[in-house]
Amino acid sequence: MLSDLPPEIVSEIVSHLPYKDILVLRQVFICGDFRDATNAHAVWLNLAKQYLAENPHSHFSNIQTLSSLTTDQLCERFEKRFMVNDLWQLSKEIYPSVKRLKGLSSPMLSISIAPGGRYLFAGTNKCSLYYWDLDSDNSEPVLLVPCDGMGNIPGRNNTIAEIDFLIEHDDPLSGFIVVFIGMDGNICKKSAEWLHIWNVIPQDDGALIAKRLKSLPMPYYGFYPKLSFNDHLVARTMNERVDVYWWRECIDTRLVRCTLGFKRSILVSNLYVVGSDKLLVFTRFADKYKARLYALESGYSEVEELAKVVSHATKIWSFRFSSEYHSRGISRLYFDGANYQQIIVMHGGICNLTIPALQADKATLTKVADFDLHQERAHSQIYGLGFNKGYCRVGKELCRFGYSLGLTSGSYKCGAPVDRRLDRVLQTVESHPTFDEELGRLVTTYMNHLVLHDFSLPLYNLADVNPDLNETKDKDTWNYWKPSVYKR
């Protein structure tokens, strides 16, 4: 029996068990030494390695750095992920806890959950960027930008139109870069627009501090852009074109950029910079959807006139696909060391797009799930899409669905019925919510308030789902709800 063995031997044995079995052992063991054995560093380290092997797309992707983390740090980073990963596949009815976060007095123009799933960011006018700590029981908005007395920043009268993030050290809880576009909200006044790049560092108490890295002038656009950012490039949509910048070489007075122009007016629903020399663009024209991959020339141009258009891109391939979820039905882009991966919801099922880094012209599209949301398109809505799990509503059911890259047999769908109270909350989920796959967190807006759906705090009874949205007090709001995040 395990109870007859020394604690260090128990730790070694327990370290090879799945997380759900370890939870059972913690309940069984009465002796403190044996309970401590299930919390040993070796146990958490092996659990973290198992998790990353099953979820290589995780923002905590560097297995080599795990050994340097303490037991408490491993627990902080992975315990909720283990739990969400297990419960997502359970066939029983499971609901997220739903609560309203304190909002802002100014309209929130864009919201996004940062990598790691702990912090929510929202942009407002006056170039203000706020954050919420979603791990806190009573999260309050905290002003991050402008900070440290730097109120007189370039573009300080701009509104924050789009937010993106970059992790440089494979651990978002150690720091990350946030980038956002500041645009003039008055389309009749063609003032300057800016690209702002800030370095964000979490503190031991959970607070964030930020340091401005760059603020770069951009050509005037006047509408809400699409934005993509990595450690080499930043791309943003313009009128009938996409501009790409090598942002590390940019200076305040001269932009280094290439421009991809389109021959006709099309809607760019999503775009992604790929490595240091490629751009993936998803477009819509009438009811035709296309994915296009472009190669950017190795050189670059120094453009003194911001309005000057220079074409430096060559199309590698394009394919047409059918989807009514052209924006919500596309996951983020992930690089596994050899291939760029992406999940796309299509008619007939869910597919995985694979782009080899060294042979980009050999891209493949593989079905990973037969779950066809389009069959229920009149009664379905995608809330979040990740690399092995997603969150949606189909009719009167709230659904968790999942899949394994490379095989259709690994897919599943678990539903839970929705009552009138929860139905009203779900009606406030907009077409552009923000979703963290690993922690099962969805944030949307409700009359300039933020509503958090949190599967890391799961509920197993519909009666326990008691969103703190006072239906009687907010009756007019429910009946005449209008989104506070402006449509793009």
Instruction: Dihedral sign for Cα 193, 436, 413, 333, please.
Output: positive
Tokens encoding 296: 């950017």
Read off the pLDDT of residues 89-116 as tens digits, 9 standing for 90 and up. Answer: 888 899 999 988 988 888 888 899 999 9
Q: Look at residue 400 and give its three-state secondary structure.
A: strand
67: domain CATH number?
1.20.1280
- Distance (Å) of CA 471 to CA 105, 188, 439, 476, 478: 21, 39, 28, 9, 7
Confidence band for 274, pLDDT divided at 50, 70 and 90: very high
**Do the domain assignments include residue 26?**
yes
CB 331 within 8 A of CB 343: yes
E strand or H helix at 26:
helix 19-28
Residue 299 confidence (pLDDT) above 50: yes
In a domain, 268, yes or no: no
Q: How much is the pLDDT for 327?
A: 63
Query: Who wins on pLDDT, 61 or 69?
Result: 69
Torsions phi, psi for 369 (to 5 deg): -155, 140
- Find the mean pLDDT for residues 42-65: 87
CB neighbour list of residue 248: distance below 8 Å, 6 or more residues apart: 232
Q: How is residue 448 annotated by DSSP?
A: T
Q: What's the pLDDT score for residue 186?
A: 56
Query: Residue 472 pLDDT > 80, yes or no?
Result: no
Comparing CA positions, the residue from 319, 320, 303 lying closest to residue 311 is: 303
Q: Residue 260 — very low, low, confident or very high, per pLDDT cuts 50/70/90?
A: confident
For residue 43, tell me if it sits in a domain.
yes
The answer to the question of residue 114 being in a domain is: no
Kind and range of the H or E element at 345?
A: strand 339-346
Share of the chain above pLDDT 70, in %: 81
- Does the pLDDT at position 424 exceed 70? yes
Residue with tokens 């315990």: 79
The β-bridge relationship of strands 234-238 and 278-285 is unpaired
- Over 60: is that where the pLDDT of 407 sits? no
Mean pLDDT, residues 47-69 taken together: 86
Question: Which of 42-46, 87-91, 312-316 has the lowest average pLDDT?
Answer: 312-316
Nearest to 230 by CA among 161, 313, 314, 168: 168
**pLDDT attached to residue 476:** 45
Least confident of 112-116, 141-145, 477-481: 477-481
Which pLDDT tens digit goes with each residue over 364-377?
999 898 887 766 65
22 domain-assigned:
yes
pLDDT at 80: 94
Q: What pLDDT does 22 receive?
A: 83
* C-alpha distances in Å from residue 475, one per residue of 152, 195, 224, 448: 41, 40, 31, 16
* Residue 301 scores a pLDDT above 60: no
**311: Cα within 13 Å, side-chain hemisphere:** 10
When pLDDT is cut at 50, 70 and 90, the band that residue 481 belongs to is very low
For residue 413, tell me if it sits in a domain: no
Give pLDDT, residue 165.
94
pLDDT at 470: 52
Q: Does the pLDDT of residue 244 top 60, yes or no?
A: yes
Q: Is residue 274 part of a domain?
A: no
Q: Would residue 85 count as lying in a domain?
A: yes
Which residues, 6 or more positions from 372, have their beta carbon under 8 angstroms from its beta carbon? 347, 348, 349
pLDDT at 485 over 50: no
Closest of 324, 316, 232 to residue 281, by C-alpha: 316
pTM above 0.85, yes or no: yes
Judge contact between 411 and 439, C-beta under 8 A.
no
pLDDT, one tens digit per residue, over 163-184 is 999 997 778 888 999 999 887 6
Question: What is the number of domains present in the chain?
Answer: 1
Lowest mean pLDDT among 315-319, 405-409, 478-482: 478-482
Q: What is the pLDDT of residue 241?
A: 84
Q: Indicate if the pLDDT at residue 310 is higher than 70.
A: no
Residue 22 belongs to domain spanning: 2-89
Q: In what order do the strands lie in the sheet with 176-183?
A: 159-166, 176-183, 193-202, 208-218
> Which region among 181-195, 263-277, 412-426, 428-442 has the lowest average model confidence (pLDDT)?
181-195
Question: What are the tokens at 408?
Answer: 């259709």
Q: Quick check: 219 pLDDT over 80?
A: no
Residue holding tokens 């006018």? 125
